[in-house]
Structure 1
Amino acid sequence: MSEYDYDLFVIGAGSGGVRASRIAASHGAKVALAEEYRVGGTCVIRGCVPKKMLVYGAHFAEDLHEAARFGWDVNDPKFVWQRLRDIVQTDIDRLEGLYGNTLSSHNVKLFEERATVAGPNEVKLASGQVVTAGKILIATGGWPVPAQCEGAEHALTSNEIFHLEQVPGRLLVVGGGYIANEFAGIFHAFGSDVTILNRSDVLLRSYDQEIVARLVELSKEKGINFHFKASLQKIEKQADGSLHVGFNDGTNADYDTILVATGRAPNSAGLGLEEVGVKLDKSGAVIVDEYNQSSVPSIYAVGDVTNRVQLTPVAIREGHAFADTVFDNNPRIVDYDAIPSAVFASPPIASVGLTEAEASAKYGDDIKIYRSDFRPMKNVVSGREERGLYKMITAGSDEKVIGLHLIGPESSEIIQGAAVAVKAGLSKQAFDDTVALHPSMAEELVLLK
């Protein structure tokens, strides 16, 4: 018999925590998990899943407008935000239920309350109960960074934006990352007058800037406004409910809704980690080794709370590797090289490997750039001038592909298969030797010049 109540206690029922719980239980561990809000975590409940559903809804704005060019008569289409909002939330309820079923079917004990760390092998629940565990896993994810100005309480974060009563007439989106650009595109399609506010003139810093420049150009053409090199100074709520915003560059403007999307911080505050000796970095991230172990040997962490790579599939892999390492005597680490990512903007950006700037810094003049700047067939038929851009970066005499960067329709779908080639270390010649799938946008990957 174990000297502890559980072999593993997981704090946080997001993607990483649920995966770790399930796999550890399948290896024979007695597992408990605590979640203070809803099972599913950021991605399922208030992140990538509901956001992607809104992205799908936003696509119809252009498709309906262009339908006549494809032979369809669509008379007086009307968008009803409340209908989409409620359908999305209903599906989130369904997914939450599936996550709960997964835990139950693997005999994981679920505590639906907040839990904190009381010792190297102790967890204290909000109810006051103290539970012991041989290992504790922190999988509490990240949390949106709120506005830092007078009147900040009047601004929303990505947590609340899904629950709006109506589409705002004037929306200010603060930030230059993927969340800001995605919601800007979504609500522009739904009819909002959107402005993106960013403290610098550089958006999406981790993406290839040539691709980002194309996104900015196309966004401006669609009617999205940009206010660069400025930040929030003061927000005042006016008598009519609108928000008067003063910026630090001396300008001001009125909006109906403000969305602050300036990043996400590790959700580690108040968990009792530092009190028991767990080391955190200056951002609050749990410092772990390659096996997800913290400075306290019995305490581990996976996912966004470690601030390594803030992506759901990465958290899942980390949770799985942790469970195999600790409970199956099968040491595994996660390979963070060549992770594909996407920005579900309009049009979407997709990327894998090094950007041109990163490649140049690493390989100097030993890189080559190949591009395809094209107008997708669908855009030609619909009369839309919007052009896609695919970019390949190679290094060395064998022209090993070290980066692929796309902007255009369905880029996020196309990049997954191409990422396998980059991960495998294939050369430009391997792409050239592959017969094109015609007619498609993806064929541009094997026709790059």
Structure 2
Amino acid sequence: MKNIVIIGAGPAGRFAAMDAAEKSNNVTLIEKRHIGGKCLNQACMVVCALSDVAKHVEQSQNFNDLGIVESEIKVDYAKTAAQIKQTQKKIRHIITAETKGTGVEYVRGEASVDADRKVVIVDDEDEYPYDKLLVCTGSSPLLPDIPGIENAYTYKDTLKFEQIPEKLVIIGGGSTAAEYANIFSSFGSQVDILCRSSFLKMLGDNEAEEYIVSNLLKNTIVHENVEIKEITDRSVITNYGEIEGTVLLATGVTPNSEIVKDIVEIDDKGHIIVDSHMQTSNPDIYAAGDVIGGLLSTPVSRMEGMVAINNIIGNEVEADYSLIPLTITLNYDVSYMKGDKVNNNGKQVSLPGAGGPGSFWNILNGKMGMTKENIDFESGKINNVLAITPSSNIALPYMIKIMKDGNDDDFSNFLEIHPTTDGIFKLAQYYKRYS
């Protein structure tokens, strides 16, 4: 049995804590804010909740346009935010009970580390000795050095809006910018996205980016190669002029590594440096999740936490970053891959989205989405997949399993649920027709 202290009760820390406790270790999990971390309380779940409402608004408008349903949808944002907060509270209650039920000691308070004595001090009072320490302290919004930055909101503040902004200016060009543009444009805001370089460049696919802008983001103008001069309380001043609206930052995150900045090695961006076992330069301290950088997603953080805890308790494993599924949550999810084994060295084949749940009533307007695969026709291996469909966030992880363990021929006896809106499996099964 080991004394293990984990700082941070987000996906990385909480799952690691439960796993270690279930294996008869003495585990203390310390969190200074809310259990569930950024995902539940500020980011992923907030985006999912607001996106569900946005999808309903868009679907209702489409039904109106088709003459199927006569209704006028109006979103009460204050009530929406209040209901989200109530739901978060309920989830926190459930997962707190789940965590404690495995034998984890859950402690609320602000932690500091005394590495020489190998203790964690909470609120400058209580001390928790450790054999091994796991740091899962996550990240916070990155605030660029821009005059007037205090006038901007971040993802942490979106539930504080008293009403839907008439005009919204989003600074940033990644997934967070796209997701909030989708949400608030569906709610009726006029949205401007200001990108320092290009929009959604992490996709590496101009066709997909153009499809998203043209078909999924209504009432939205994307400005690229923008230099931000100043942010005021009602606008952003750029090298192209002044753009009015409530300002939302989507400029990335910065790691919360201050707690161990003088104890372990940290890179020039503040990320804790770890090896493939999640071990830091201090052999008794491990780290996982956003605080170490890399691909920032809940499943990746959870994987890193599990890798760390397995190595802490003596099971030597390494993190696998070969194929990572990622999704931009829009009215159609945009799912894509990153990782060491992802490439575009084969032949690119594509297929329009199919009619099915979530897309049937868009057949007549042609907004069906798309699926693209890069395939090596010699080996049958799939190199890369990108899908813009209602079911892509479900289908892509299955495809990754096939990519890791087999090839296209494994689909000869594969049975999916029908109807499905995704062309991933269809392309994989019948790719030779496109050669």
The normalised TM-score by structure 1 is: 0.88
What letter matches 1:335 in structure 2? D
- Cα distance, 1:147 vs. partner? 3.7
Counterpart of 2:262 (choices 241, 255, 275) is 275
Distance of 2:211 and 2:407 partners within structure 1? 27
Paired position in structure 1 for 2:170: 173
- Cα distance, 1:346 vs. partner? 3.5
Paired position in structure 2 for 1:368: 347
Change (3 A) 1:375 1:318: closer
1:441 aligns with 2:426: no
Q: Which moved more, 1:56-65 or 1:94-103?
A: 94-103
What letter matches 2:158 in structure 1? I
Paired position in structure 1 for 2:298: 312
Identity %: 25
Counterpart of 2:248 (choices 256, 259, 268) is 259
Distance of 2:340 and 2:303 partners within structure 1? 24
1:348 aligns with 2:316: no
What letter matches 1:264 in structure 2? V
What letter matches 1:90 in structure 2? Q
Change (3 A) 1:99 1:231: farther
Contact 1:353 1:402 in 2 (8 A): no
Paired position in structure 1 for 2:390: 409
1:17 aligns with 2:13: yes
The secondary structure found in structure 2 opposite 1:165 is coil
- Cα distance, 1:219 vs. partner? 4.4
1:73 aligns with 2:69: yes
- Residue pairs, 1:118-129, within 5 angstroms: 118-120=114-116, 121-129=118-126
* Gaps in structure 2 of 5+ consecutive residues: none
- Residue pairs, 1:27-426, within 5 angstroms: 27-68=23-64, 72-120=68-116, 121-219=118-216, 222-237=218-233, 243-247=234-238, 249-255=239-245, 257-269=246-258, 271=259, 273-276=260-263, 278-327=264-313, 329-352=314-337, 359-360=343-344, 363=345, 367-374=346-353, 376=355, 378=359, 383-395=364-376, 397-426=378-407
Size of the alignment, in residue pairs?
426
What letter matches 1:403 in structure 2? N
- Cα distance, 1:209 vs. partner? 3.7
Distance of 2:80 and 2:111 partners within structure 1? 34
Contact 1:436 1:446 in 2 (8 A): no
- Cα distance, 1:353 vs. partner? 5.4
- Cα distance, 1:321 vs. partner? 2.5
- Partner deviation per Cα, 1:268-305 (whole Å, 9 max, x = no partner): 12x1x2322x0011111111111111000111001111
Distance of 1:113 and 1:310 partners within structure 2? 25
- Cα distance, 1:205 vs. partner? 1.8
Change (3 A) 1:410 1:71: farther
Distance of 1:157 and 1:69 partners within structure 2? 34
Distance of 2:205 and 2:411 partners within structure 1? 21
- Partner deviation per Cα, 1:51-78 (whole Å, 9 max, x = no partner): 1111111001121112257774333332
- Partner deviation per Cα, 1:205-228 (whole Å, 9 max, x = no partner): 2453432232123246x2211121
Contact 2:332 2:388 in 1 (8 A): yes
- Partner deviation per Cα, 1:160-195 (whole Å, 9 max, x = no partner): 112211111100011111111001101111111111
- Cα distance, 1:245 vs. partner? 2.0
Change (3 A) 1:97 1:176: same
Change (3 A) 1:393 1:433: farther
Contact 1:400 1:426 in 2 (8 A): yes
The secondary structure found in structure 1 opposite 2:309 is helix
Distance of 2:381 and 2:274 partners within structure 1? 32
- Partner deviation per Cα, 1:296-353 (whole Å, 9 max, x = no partner): 01110011111132111121122222222322x3222221111111111233211135
- Partner deviation per Cα, 1:108-164 (whole Å, 9 max, x = no partner): 222211102221512222233333211111000111112421110010111111221
Distance of 1:62 and 1:402 partners within structure 2? 34
Change (3 A) 1:139 1:435: closer
Contact 1:173 1:184 in 2 (8 A): yes
- Cα distance, 1:413 vs. partner? 2.6
Change (3 A) 1:11 1:381: closer
The secondary structure found in structure 2 opposite 1:275 is coil
Contact 1:302 1:318 in 2 (8 A): yes
Distance of 1:153 and 1:67 partners within structure 2? 41
Contact 1:7 1:30 in 2 (8 A): yes
Q: Which moved more, 1:208-217 or 1:152-161?
A: 208-217
Contact 1:69 1:382 in 2 (8 A): no
Contact 1:140 1:267 in 2 (8 A): yes
Q: Which moved more, 1:122-131 or 1:404-413?
A: 122-131
Contact 1:114 1:125 in 2 (8 A): yes
Distance of 1:314 and 1:355 partners within structure 2? 14
- Partner deviation per Cα, 1:203-260 (whole Å, 9 max, x = no partner): 242453432232123246x2211121113211223xxxxx13211x1411221x2110
Distance of 1:374 and 1:325 partners within structure 2? 43
Distance of 2:131 and 2:339 partners within structure 1? 40
Contact 2:389 2:422 in 1 (8 A): no
Distance of 1:42 and 1:306 partners within structure 2? 15
Distance of 1:12 and 1:346 partners within structure 2? 32
The secondary structure found in structure 2 opposite 1:182 is helix
The secondary structure found in structure 2 opposite 1:21 is helix
Distance of 1:158 and 1:76 partners within structure 2? 29
Distance of 2:194 and 2:421 partners within structure 1? 32
The normalised TM-score by structure 2 is: 0.90
Distance of 2:205 and 2:170 partners within structure 1? 22
